[in-house]
Amino acid sequence: MPIPSEKSEDECLLEVKNLTTRFDTEEGLVHAVNDVSYCLDEGETLGVVGESGCGKSVHALSIMRLIPIPPGRIEKGEVLLSGDNLLDKSEEEMRFVRGAQIAMIFQDPMTSLNPVRTVGYQIMEALKHHLEMNDREARERTAELLAMVGIPEAAQRVDDYPHQFSGGMRQRAMIAMALSCYPKILIADEPTTALDVTIQAQIVELVKRLQDQLGMSVIWITHDLGVVAGMAQRVNVMYAGSLIETGSVKKIYGETRHPYTLGLLSSLPRLDEVSRSKLISIEGEPPDLVDLQPGCQFYERCKFAVERCRYETPILESINNGHSVACWEKERVRKEQ
């Protein structure tokens, strides 16, 4: 169901309504994304967090209409970009949306870049398609983009192949490609996962700097709540394909109301006065998305669970000032803070 919000729909750059995505597999029907709804404002950074397999990436691919059909399908919902429903567009129309209005950085730059084409060729391809540049203009712009993302001797590196770039440089090239046509929204799908810690920090700072320069909105998908705390204004927490808590960074980190969010935060190492306390893990495993049971999907792993949680699915409801949560025992969680 839609997230209760004090904002009008007209204020949203991107509005996702009741997005539901399924996959037909030999094991059965996978409920990958379940009734997800939220708004993204202009210039805002939204963090989407959760364990692997919770639906973060599939929800982003659904927005971009990149779900492989079959076996996947977007069963219902709307994705409104400035009021225009992307799910109603033809594949030809979507080619002019991807890259030009919404761009995406994927997890592994090595598999995202074509190994038999130069990095420059792959960036120039988008410039020619969306901005109708000629070869000379596209090459000059590509060199500027590579320099903008911090690649040294950018004009000479235009003709290099992906294997000639380091992991961090390949990710920078992917960012350059994503930003080449000045998109309104950048979706970053765990863009630092395959990189070492030093390069991760550089990529995060690079995206923040470029966002300030270009004024774009960012959806940052990650399992690292530490990164989200430093760059996002709002956070969506996903579990078992559903949105279970959403709110400002201050609300999510300081006034947590869902046991799963509390578990994620408790598993983070701290540098303050409790730095010597033991890290707390979330017991158990995420549910099988082929065989979702009635009630709260976190029931089997939740220390706050009561009998009602087993049979009755909690509804995502507003509790205060844009902070929404799907939990029957949210007041008990509040007292745990």
- The pLDDT score that the predictor gives to residue 6 is 45
Confidence of residue 249 (pLDDT cuts 50, 70, 90): very high
Decide if pLDDT at 1 tops 60.
no
User: Bridge-partner residues for 73, per DSSP?
Assistant: 22
pLDDT at 327: 92
Tens digits of per-residue pLDDT, 18-76?
Answer: 999 999 988 899 999 999 999 999 989 999 998 888 889 999 999 999 998 889 999 99
Asked whether the CA dihedral 144, 149, 150, 152 is positive or negative, the reply is negative
Confidence at 10, pLDDT banded by 50, 70, 90: low
Confidence of residue 17 (pLDDT cuts 50, 70, 90): very high
pLDDT at residue 273 above 80?
no
pLDDT of amino acid 199: 75
140 or 275, which is more confident: 140
Q: Where are the beta strands (DSSP E) in 122-239?
A: 185-189, 217-222, 234-239
Q: What share of the chain is helix, strand, coil (3-state, %, to 5)?
A: 35, 25, 40
Give the distance from CA 153 to its chain's centroid. 31
**pLDDT attached to residue 109:** 65
- Per-residue pLDDT band for 83 (boundaries 50, 70, 90) equals confident
Residue 197, class by beta-carbon neighbours within 10 Å (0-12 exposed, 13-18 middle, 19+ buried)? Answer: exposed
Q: What are phi and psi of 319, to 5 degrees?
A: -110, -35
Neighbours of 109 (CB within 10 A): 23
pLDDT tens-digit series, residues 88-104: 999 889 988 888 899 98
| Beta-carbon-side half-sphere exposure of residue 165 (alpha carbons within 13 Å) | 30
The neighbouring-strand residues paired with 247 are 235
Per the confidence metrics, is the pTM higher than 0.85?
A: yes
Return d(Cα 297, Cα 165) in angstroms, integer. 43
Q: Which residues are paired to 238 by β-bridges?
A: 243
pLDDT tens digits, 174-187: 888 888 888 899 99
Q: Alpha carbon 333 to chain centroid distance?
A: 26
Residue 218: the pLDDT is: 93
Contact in structure between 249 and 233 (CB atoms under 8 Å)? yes
| Distance, CA of 26 to CA of 29 (rounded, Å) | 8
The pLDDT, as a whole number, for residue 4 is 42
- At 8 the pLDDT is 46
Q: What is the mean pLDDT of the chain?
A: 85
